[in-house]
């Protein structure tokens, strides 16, 4: 006599030959090696400490949250990606306990409180970055010049916060921002490192080109329309990191190609409006968080019509 067979009921697709969640996360981690390596090169031991604390706190928080919810902890790499991304958005001199608080908030509140991976409304790293910025505004706006592994720390303004003092169309300024020899968050300084990681994700087809291309393109167009330096706005701040690694998050970005283009265009408009008219020099974080909330609406109005579906004709009364 055979025992009754157990059936597992789950949503489609039931036969899946594409990359798994773990594979995607590990590929993103591989791409993040480049901006993380640049952060360590320019900011030394402080970068190592912030990266380690954020990643460790994110992993531990996810493990504890899963146990509290009665779910099995699976090392799929998503917590590590969240910790790395959060660390790359923080200043190198941020107190380590603040970095740990941000990582706990990212996993426990922004991710697990909404149901875990795949159910979160907002990007966990950016949600935590916004929380830490509001809670600890002074440490989050204290910037230092890159000193590598040297001990001396010199306070300096970021390009966006000191935009009025940066000359337009200056090759030396472009070179500094492209290579990373400027003040800023750990992962925002070297556009070259971010481009390498972003191109790796594009080449491996982990992300689509539509969101980064439209996001960066609209920022450049609006900067020119506002009479500002487009290349400066592309290289300065967190635009490159946000365009390739944050805005392309599978869970919080639109599913359709039309939706991705709309998402990228909206991000570019919001970012430039905040930078040009807002009270803060940077607008990437809050632009992406705002559009994360709009993603379900975009998906609703840009979803593809199933093949062969015909609209029901209205009856004439």
> For the segment 152-187, what is each residue's pLDDT rounded down to a tens digit?
555 555 666 655 445 566 788 788 888 887 888 898
Of residues 311, 37, 10, 56, the one with CA closest to residue 196: 37
Task: Find out whether 146 and 43 touch, Cβ atoms under 8 Å.
Answer: yes
Res. 271: pLDDT tops 50: yes
Q: How confident is the model at residue 315 (pLDDT cuts 50, 70, 90)?
A: low
75 half-sphere exposure, CB direction, 13 A CA radius? 4
Q: What is the DSSP letter of 17?
A: -
CA 33 to chain CA centroid, nearest Å? 15
The mean pLDDT value for 84-105 works out to: 95
d(Cα 191, Cα 240) in Å, to the nearest integer? 7
- Top mean pLDDT of 176-180, 197-201, 277-281, 308-312 is at 197-201
Q: What is the mean pLDDT of residues 72-89?
A: 92
How high is the mean pLDDT of the chain?
86
- Does CATH number 1.20.1740 belong to domain 21-302? no
- 15 contacts 193 by C-beta, under 8 angstroms: no
Give the per-residue pLDDT at 137: 87
The token pair at 198 is 């972003």
Is residue 102 a contact partner of residue 90, using CB atoms and an 8 Å limit? yes
Q: Is the pLDDT of residue 283 over 80?
A: yes
Interval 132-153: pLDDT, tens: 999 998 888 887 777 765 545 5
CA 57 to chain centre: 18
pLDDT value at residue 210: 95
Above 80 in pLDDT, residue 279? no
Helix (H), strand (E), coil (C) string for 125-187: HHHHHHHHHHHCCCHHHCCECCCCCCCCCCECCCCCCCHHHCCCCCHHHHHHHHHCCCCCCCC
pLDDT for residue 317 is more than 70: no
Summarize the confidence of residues 254-279 as an average pLDDT. 92
- pLDDT, residue 151, reads 43
Q: What mean pLDDT do residues 5-20 have?
A: 61
- 315 or 295, greater pLDDT: 295
Residue 96: the pLDDT is: 95
Instruction: Count other Cβ atoms within 10 Å, centred on residue 296.
Output: 11
Instruction: Please enumerate in sequence order all residues whose Cβ is within 8 A of that of 104, keeping only pairs 6 or more positions apart, or say none.
Output: 57, 58, 61
Listed in sequence order, the residues at least 6 apart from 216 whose beta carbon sits closer than 8 Å to its beta carbon are 234, 239, 240, 243, 268
């Amino acid at each position: 006599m055979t025992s009754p067979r157990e059936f597992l009921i789950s949503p489609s697709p039931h036969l899946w030959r594409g990359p798994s969640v773990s594979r995607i996360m590990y590929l993103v981690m591989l791409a993040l090696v480049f901006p993380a390596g640049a952060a360590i090169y320019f900011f030394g031991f402080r970068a190592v400490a912030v990266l380690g604390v954020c990643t460790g706190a994110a992993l531990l928080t996810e493990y504890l949250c899963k146990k509290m919810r009665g779910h099995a902890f699976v090392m799929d790499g998503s917590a590590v990606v969240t910790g790395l991304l959060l660390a790359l958005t923080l200043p190198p001199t941020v107190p380590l306990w603040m970095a740990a608080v941000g990582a706990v908030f990212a996993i426990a509140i922004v991710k697990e409180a909404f149901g875990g991976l795949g159910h979160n409304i907002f990007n966990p790293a950016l949600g935590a970055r916004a929380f830490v910025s509001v809670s600890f505004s002074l440490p989050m706006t204290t910037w230092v010049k890159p000193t590598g592994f040297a001990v001396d720390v010199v306070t300096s303004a970021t390009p966006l916060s000191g935009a009025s003092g940066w000359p337009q169309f200056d090759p030396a300024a472009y070179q500094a921002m492209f290579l990373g020899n400027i003040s800023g968050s750990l992962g925002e300084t070297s556009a070259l490192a971010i481009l390498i990681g972003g191109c790796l994700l594009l080449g491996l087809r982990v992300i689509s080109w539509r969101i980064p291309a439209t996001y960066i393109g609209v920022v450049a167009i609006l900067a020119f329309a506002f009479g500002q330096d487009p290349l400066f706005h592309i290289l300065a701040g967190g635009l490159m990191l946000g365009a390739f690694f944050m805005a392309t998050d599978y869970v919080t970005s639109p599913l359709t190609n039309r939706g991705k283009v709309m998402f990228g265009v909206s991000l570019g408009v919001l970012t430039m409006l905040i930078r040009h008219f807002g009270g803060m020099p940077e607008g990437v974080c809050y632009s992406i968080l705002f559009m994360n909330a709009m993603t379900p609406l975009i998906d609703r109005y840009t979803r593809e019509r199933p093949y062969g579906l015909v609209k029901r004709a209205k009856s004439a009364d």
